[in-house]
Amino acid sequence: MTTIYTSDIEEAASFIRRGQLCAFPTETVYGLGADATNPEAIDRIFEAKRRPADNPLIVHLADADAIGEVAREIPTAAADLAAAFMPGPLTLVLPRRPSLPSGVTAELDTVGVRVPDLEVTRRFLAACAVPVAAPSANLSGRPSPTTWEAVREDLDGRIAAVLTGPPAERGLESTVVDCTTPQPTLLRAGAIPTERLAYVVPDLVVGAPEDAAAPRSPGMKHRHYAPHLPVHLVDSVAEVADPERSAFIGLALPKSCIWMPRVRLCSSVEEYAHDLYDFMRQCERDGVERLYCERVPDEGLGRALMDRLRRAAQG
Ligand code: TXA
Ligand code: MG
C-alpha cells in the first residue's frame, strides 16, 4: 500500500473514520491510530506493528469529559488525576465498558485512556469523532518515533496515512497509572514524574525502579525501546571503548571530554529524555556499532529515562 503523508487534519481523520490506520503526532511520541470501536481496524494495528496480541492499546480522547464513553467507572483517584493532569502525558487504566472491542484491551477488563496535550492532536481526535486506539507508531520492539520521519522509517507502506506534525515535545511516552487497584499503582514511569502524581494521590504505589522488569503492565514484559545496536549504561564518557565506532549520549560534560565523533550532550534530564529515541535511530542509520548511555539518578523524569535505558541495554 502507498502511505499518504498529509498535514491536513480533516483528510487524516477520514482514514480513521473509514477503518484505516493513520499515525499522528502527540506531545509524547507519535501514535498509530485506529477507530477503537471497529474490531477490524484494531486488528490492523497489531498486524502493521507486528505487535503481540496480549499487549493492550491506549484509547485517545479529545476531551476528558468523554472518558465515560469507554470506561464504565471512574474511581476517585482517577477523577483527581484527570482533573490535575489531563490533557497531558498521563494514561489512566480504568474498568472498561463491555461495548469496547476486546482486541483494544487484549481481552483485559480494563482500558487505558489518555487525553493528549497538543492542539493538532486534539483537533485530529475531535475530527475522528470516535475514540482512537493508538500504540506508539513504531514496529514492535523499536524505539518510539518522535518525528513523522521516524514513523516513515518503520511503517511506510504498512499503514494508510500519517498526519505530519511537529517533533514530539517530550520524546518519552506517557506515565501509566492503574486506577482499578485499591490504591492507584504506577504501571509505567513516563513523562509525568511520579513525585508530581503523588501530590495528588499520596497513596500511589510505586515499585522499585529495577522492578520494572516485573510486568504489571502487559506491554512492559516485551522487549522494548531497543535500537538494532548494543546499548551500554555507563557513568561517564570515560568508560567508552572504541570511540571511532561508538556513540555517547548523556548530560553535559567538560569540553575536554568531547573527543568522539558522535556525542550528544544534553543540558538537562528533560533534554536527554527528549533526544534519546531520536539519537538511537540516528546512530543506527550512521552504522554506529555501540551506544553508550550515561546513567542518571532514578528520580523525577530520570526514573522514566532509566527505565527505558535499562530495557534498551537488556536488548
Ligand atoms: O505516550 C504514550 O502513551 C504513547 C502515545 C502515542 O499516546 N502511546 C504508547 O502506547 O506509548 P504503547 O502501546 O506503546 O504503550 C502502552 C502501554 C503498554 O505498556 C501497555 O501494556 C499499557 O500501556 N496499557 C495499555 N492499556 C492497558 C491496560 N488496560 N492495562 C494495563 N496496561 C495497559
Ligand atoms: Mg510502544
The answer to whether 58 touches 112, Cβ cutoff 8 Å, is yes
Pocket of ligand 1 (CB under 6 A): 26, 28-29, 31, 55-58, 89, 91, 93, 105, 108, 110-112, 114, 134-136, 173-174, 176, 187-188, 217-220
Spatial separation of the C-alpha atoms in residues 35 and 45, rounded to whole Å: 10
Q: Are strands 90-95 and 110-114 parallel, antiparallel or unpaired?
A: antiparallel
Which residues have a Cβ under 8 Å from the Cβ of 61 and sit 6 or more positions away?
Answer: 67, 69, 70, 113, 114, 115, 125, 131, 132
CA angle 124, 91, 270 (to 5 degrees): 90
Spatial separation of the C-alpha atoms in residues 70 and 97, rounded to whole Å: 5
**Phi and psi at residue 113, to the nearest 5°:** -125, 145
> In this predicted model, what pLDDT tens digit does every residue of 191-212 receive, in sequence order?
999 999 999 999 999 988 766 5
Bridge partners, 263 (sequence order): 248
Spatial separation of the C-alpha atoms in residues 139 and 237, rounded to whole Å: 30
pLDDT in the model for residue 114: 98
Residues in the chain: 315
- Residue whose C-alpha cell reads 499503514 in the numeric block: 159
Spatial separation of the C-alpha atoms in residues 145 and 154, rounded to whole Å: 9
| Closest ligand, as measured to the CA of 34 | 1
Distance 30 CA to ligand 2 centre (A): 10
The answer to whether 25 touches 166, Cβ cutoff 8 Å, is yes
HSE, side-chain direction, 13 A CA sphere, residue 21: 30
| Ligand 1 probe mutation, 96, 151, 217, most atoms within 8 A of CB | 217
The answer to whether 227 touches 144, Cβ cutoff 8 Å, is no
Atom of ligand 1 nearest to the CA of 188: 19
| Closest ligand, as measured to the CA of 175 | 1
Please give the chain's pLDDT, 315 residues, in tens.
999 999 999 999 999 999 999 999 999 999 999 999 999 999 999 999 999 999 999 999 999 999 999 999 999 999 999 999 999 999 999 999 999 999 999 999 999 999 999 999 999 999 999 999 999 999 998 999 999 999 999 999 999 999 999 999 999 999 999 999 999 999 999 999 999 999 999 999 998 876 654 555 666 665 566 778 899 999 988 888 888 899 999 997 766 666 677 899 999 999 999 999 999 999 999 999 999 999 999 999 999 999 999 999 987
Q: Which residues surround ligand 2, an ion (CB under 5 A)?
A: 136
| Closest ligand, as measured to the CA of 187 | 1
| Ligand 1 probe mutation, 27, 176, 225, most atoms within 8 A of CB | 176
Q: Are strands 110-114 and 31-35 parallel, antiparallel or unpaired?
A: unpaired
Long-range contacts, stretch 10-18, CB < 8 angstroms, 24+ apart = 10/127, 11/161, 12/124, 12/127, 12/161, 12/162, 12/163, 13/124, 13/127, 13/128, 13/129, 15/160, 15/161, 16/41, 16/128, 16/130, 16/132, 17/128, 17/129, 17/130
**Residue 296 grid cell:** 542518571
